[in-house]
Amino acid sequence: MNTEKIFLALDSLHVELPSWGFANTGTRFGKFQQAGAATNTEEKFADAGQVHAFTGACPTVALHVLWDFPNGVDSIPEVNALGNKYGVRPGSINPNVFQDQIYKHGSLGNPDAAVRDAAKAHILDSVRIMTELGSRDLSLWFADGSNYPGTQNIRHRRAWFEQALKEVHSKMSGNQRMLVEYKPFEPAFYHTDIADWGMALLMARASGERAKVLVDTGHHYQAQNIEQIVAWLLSEDMLGGFHFNDRRYADDDLTMGSIDPYQVFRIFHEIMLFEFETGKRGDIAYMIDQSHNLKGKIEAMIQTVETAQELYAKAALVDHKKLLPLQTSCELVDAEGCLKDAFSTDVRPAIREWRKSKGLAENPMAAFRESGYLQRAERERGEKNMGAVASYA
Ligand code: PSV
Ligand code: MN
């Protein structure tokens, strides 16, 4: 096993944690409360700080403006201080233009100009937030769409989106990027305004040069070849980042790699092959977008980061020099064998070595469990999460 390749790969892999993955969330059928879940932004930073402390791979936390900035732009100093206190900096900033009642028929695609303006104002506030916090990526996801054929003008909505995103883009500066996320359906069940990577790509291109596409692995139909989308976006210099999670049926928010680890490996492989051939490092934000309603929040994140590291390390083991000529000569069995050999390598001993070399615990999950942090959180937050009738002790 090429340990050096694995060390280099792990040194370069940063995984951004979603603040919303630490709070109590559920499905539309209800929530099962966890006594130790984060109840406010400070606790989300504290929990993300734990994941970073034990894995050494998660220096930033993605923030959702509506959920993490209770006083809008006035919360900026407070959030900044939390980043310093807990050792994880604010990462991507996610405007939220899908929850307020005014967004019933959409945000930037709403036929009512006043609603479009309100959505744009919120996104511009988000740009101010990212500027003041020094975060780089504005992560845009829109629930916009319609539920019944013929009820919305698809072309008008597309044009309104394009106009607004161009304006937002013109207010961005420095190294800031705009990431446009797509999703085929849900919450809209007839049409979604930015439904697939082609629409996201066109929208990003129209917005300006700092706009790129964000690939959420859960936002695809069942048989979609996601690594092909990734390869195309790389060729077009339009891959901005990922929201990792796994899916079995739809946008299930399951743990990354829990259903199809080979797919994540194939995605990483396309990126590494691109980097090998071009000699360029992809400018890609690796983010998690999972909110677990049954697993312990912090443990689920540690498990996810460990999975990401394993699959990334395996992809780093693909022998590119051997693979490229095999592709050209169409030696199919041997070419595929390059991937299979790497995927079936047990990289865990090398990852443990890497952790030791960084002064990290060899087993982050065990170290977290031994720390007693969760028990403390359950004691301190239990009442808020479960009410006076709590029976979690
Ligand atoms: C929507 O399903 C999504 O993937 C977007 O990225 C949101 O920001 C996130 O989930 C949380 O709702
Ligand atoms: Mn997402």
210 assigned to some structural domain: yes
Residue 279 alpha carbon to ligand 2 centre in Å:
29
Distance CA 5, CA 53 (A): 23
Atom of ligand 1 nearest to the CA of 96: 8
Give residue-wise pLDDT tens across range 95-130: 999 999 999 999 999 999 999 999 999 999 999 999
- pLDDT > 60? residue 192: yes
> What band does 291 get if pLDDT is binned at 50, 70 and 90?
confident
Residue type, 196: D
Residue 90 has a pLDDT of 98
Residue 35 alpha carbon to ligand 1 centre in Å:
24
- 310 close to ligand 1 (CB < 6 Angstrom): no
> What band does 1 get if pLDDT is binned at 50, 70 and 90?
confident
> What band does 387 get if pLDDT is binned at 50, 70 and 90?
confident
For residues 170-197, average pLDDT: 98
Structure tokens at 118: 């309100």
Residue 272 alpha carbon to ligand 2 centre in Å:
23
- pLDDT > 90? residue 29: no
Neighbouring C-beta atoms of residue 131, cutoff 10 Å: 17
How many H-runs (helices) and E-runs (strands) does the chain carry?
A: 15, 10
Q: Which ligand is nearest to the CA of 20?
A: 1
Domain count of the chain?
Answer: 1
Q: Which residue, among 87, 95, 96, has the nearest Cα to 57 in the 3D structure?
A: 87
**Cis ω on the peptide bond leading into residue 187 (within 30° of 0)?**
yes
- 260 close to ligand 1 (CB < 6 Angstrom): no
CA-nearest residue, atom 5 of ligand 1: 141
340 assigned to some structural domain: no
For residues 159-187, average pLDDT: 98
Q: Which domain holds residue 313?
A: 13-318+364-392
Q: Which residue, among 99, 191, 194, 96, has the nearest Cα to 145 in the 3D structure?
A: 191
For residues 224-239, average pLDDT: 98
CA-nearest residue, atom 10 of ligand 1: 289
Q: Which ligand is nearest to the CA of 68?
A: 1
91 assigned to some structural domain: yes
Distance CA 262, CA 267 (A): 9
Residue 28 has a pLDDT of 84
For residues 18-25, average pLDDT: 96
Burial (Cβ within 10 Å: 0-12, 13-18, ≥19) of residue 178: buried
Give residue-wise pLDDT tens across range 35-65: 999 999 999 999 999 999 999 999 999 999 9
For residues 22-41, average pLDDT: 93
For residues 269-275, average pLDDT: 98
Atom of ligand 1 nearest to the CA of 214: 6
Q: Are strands 15-18 and 285-288 parallel, antiparallel or unpaired?
A: parallel
- 243 close to ligand 1 (CB < 6 Angstrom): yes
Distance CA 316, CA 7 (A): 10
3-state SS class at 370: helix
For residues 163-187, average pLDDT: 98
342 assigned to some structural domain: no
- 290 close to ligand 1 (CB < 6 Angstrom): no
Neighbouring C-beta atoms of residue 77, cutoff 10 Å: 11
310 assigned to some structural domain: yes
pTM value?
A: 0.97
Q: Are strands 15-18 and 60-64 parallel, antiparallel or unpaired?
A: parallel
Mean of the per-residue pLDDT values of the chain: 96
121 assigned to some structural domain: yes
Q: What is the CATH number of the domain that holds 211?
A: 3.20.20.150
% of the chain at pLDDT higher than 90: 95
CA-nearest residue, atom 6 of ligand 1: 141
- 41 close to ligand 1 (CB < 6 Angstrom): no
Ligand 1: which of 22, 243, 251, 254 to mutate, most ligand atoms within 8 Å of CB? Answer: 243
- 144 close to ligand 1 (CB < 6 Angstrom): no
Neighbouring C-beta atoms of residue 331, cutoff 10 Å: 13
Residue 200 alpha carbon to ligand 1 centre in Å:
15
Atom of ligand 1 nearest to the CA of 20: 11
Q: How far are the Cα atoms of 13, 23, 305, 332, 351 from residue 57, in angstroms, in the given order?
A: 7, 21, 8, 36, 12
- 319 close to ligand 1 (CB < 6 Angstrom): no
Ligand 1: which of 67, 99, 141 to mutate, most ligand atoms within 8 Å of CB? Answer: 141
Beta strands in 124-197 (DSSP E): 137-140, 145-146, 177-181, 191-192
Give 27's Cβ-side CA count (13 Å radius). Answer: 7
345 assigned to some structural domain: no
Residue 26 has a pLDDT of 85
Residue 73 alpha carbon to ligand 2 centre in Å:
23
Asked if 113 and 163 count as a contact pair (C-beta separation under 8 A), the reply is no
275 assigned to some structural domain: yes
> What band does 392 get if pLDDT is binned at 50, 70 and 90?
very low
For residues 311-336, average pLDDT: 98
Residue 141 alpha carbon to ligand 1 centre in Å:
6
Distance CA 209, CA 53 (A): 35
Residue 101 has a pLDDT of 98
